[in-house]
Every structure is written in structure tokens, then in C-alpha cells.
Amino acid sequence: MDSTNDIARKLADEGAEEGTIVIADRQIRGKGRRGKEWISPLGGVWMTIILRPDVEPSKAPQLTLVTGVAVAETLNQEYDLDIGIKWPNDILIGDKKVSGILTEVKTKNGEVDYVIVGIGIDLNMDINTFPPELRDGATSLKTELDQEIEATRLVQRFLEIFEVLYKDFNEDNFREILTGWRKMSNTIGKYVEVHKKGRTVYGEAVGVNKDGKLILELDDGSLRKVISGECIHVTKSK
């Protein structure tokens, strides 16, 4: 496929029902956040879920965190690995990215029409085949576990866990999901740079508020909340 997100958007526009999943062996135009390319060769899990949650549009981006918790929980339950979540939605093994999430929201007459949640998991690929600039920061389950991973089982487990969390989200239990997110976060407590629209904010990540915004303590001691952006963990301590 070109991109499972693109196909899912087309299906959702045509009325596909909630729970429809688009899954590919390989994407030739995989999309990452901020317009970046997402390298998607054979051996990974590339899938997109169509959702039609009954929430205000402002809450739809929270589904990115819900999905991040579901991916991290799946990997934690299935494997003995050091899994963490980098705000808002990168799943890491140690300090290397193994999975990313791209959420897109479509509204109609001020309401959510649909949300598509794209999930990429680096499973059975050899990271040495990735472009050099990505190699240092990325890993795959096969690299970490030294064995091939059965994709079908992983996808099944993920969907079971996601379904429970999505139900919680629809029942207004985002706070509880955030408790899980905080436990698995490896951003909180770190000094970070957050890049957004050409601007950079530096500070210590001290928490995530009830809406999923990252709370930064800036060098002058003031607090700043950020809803989105690219977050980089830096070694400098406060």
C-alpha cells in the first residue's frame, strides 16, 4: 500500500464503520509525524484503525496517548524489555524508538466525524537496512530479542488491549489511562527540548496534566504546558 492512513481516510470518508482496520505488509509512502517519511519495509506492523468516538474534537488527540499506552502495554506483557513512552507517542526500548503513532482527526459541523490512528511497529527488520540517520535512534523487536516475532499474535494482543482502553476512553476514564501513561513514561523527570512551528521550548518535564499536555518547568521556574510538538530528551540537567 501507499500508506494505511491514506487508505483508512478514504474508507472513512466513504462511511467505513468504527473498528475498520487497514493493515499492510509494506508501505511505499508511509507517513510519519510532521510530514516526515516513515520507512515501512516488509517485516513491520503497519496498520490504521478507524474510530468514531463520541467526544469533542479537542479530546480526539488524546487517542494518541491511549494508543501509546496500548502499544507499550502489549510489548510489556509479551516481552521482557525496557519499554518506555516518550511524550507524546513514541514507544521506546531503552532510548531507541520501536514504534510511532500518527493520529488524524476529521471534524464535520463542529463534531468528530472520525479519527484514524496509524501505528507502526518495527518488528522483524534489520535496523542496519535503515537510512544511516535513523539507525542510531531506532530499533526493532527482532534486534532486541534476537528472534523473529510472530506479527499476527502481536496484532491480536494489541487489539485486545486497545479495545479495553478505547472503551475506557469513551466512558470518560482518560484520567486512569493517563495514570498508566505516567507509569510508562520516560519523559517525566528529563530535561527536554520541544520543537513546535519553528519555536523551541526548553525545560524539565515535570508531569502530564489531565488533558495529556506536557508540563515543563522552564529555567526561570515558570511552568509551561505544551499540547503537541516534537520532544527531544537532552542530557543537560536543570
Positions in the binding site for ligand BTN (CB under 6 A): 3-5, 27, 30-33, 36, 38, 40, 46-48, 90, 100-102, 118-120
Q: Using an 8 Å Cβ cutoff, are 177 and 188 in contact? A: no
C-alpha cell belonging to residue 69: 499506552
Closest CA to 212 of 77, 69, 72, 98: 69
CB of 223: closest distance to ligand BTN in angstroms? 26
C-alpha cell belonging to residue 141: 523487536
Q: How many CB atoms lie within 10 A of CB 55?
A: 17
Of residues 68 and 203, the one with the C-beta less far from ligand BTN: 68
Of residues 39 and 238, the one with the C-beta less far from ligand BTN: 39
Of residues 2 and 111, the one with the C-beta less far from ligand BTN: 2
Of residues 73 and 90, the one with the C-beta less far from ligand BTN: 90
CB of 40: closest distance to ligand BTN in angstroms? 6
CB of 4: closest distance to ligand BTN in angstroms? 4
Q: Using an 8 Å Cβ cutoff, are 47 and 21 in contact? A: yes
CB of 121: closest distance to ligand BTN in angstroms? 8
Of residues 211 and 230, the one with the C-beta less far from ligand BTN: 230
* Cβ within 8 Å of residue 68, ≥6 positions away: 85, 88, 89, 90, 91, 101, 181
Counts for the chain of helices (H) and strands (E), in that order: 6, 11
Of residues 168 and 230, the one with the C-beta less far from ligand BTN: 230
CB of 220: closest distance to ligand BTN in angstroms? 31
Q: Using an 8 Å Cβ cutoff, are 75 and 82 in contact? A: no
CB of 80: closest distance to ligand BTN in angstroms? 24
**Closest residue to bound ligand BTN by CB:** 100
Dist. CA 202–CA 218, nearest whole Å: 6
Q: How many CB atoms lie within 10 A of CB 230?
A: 14
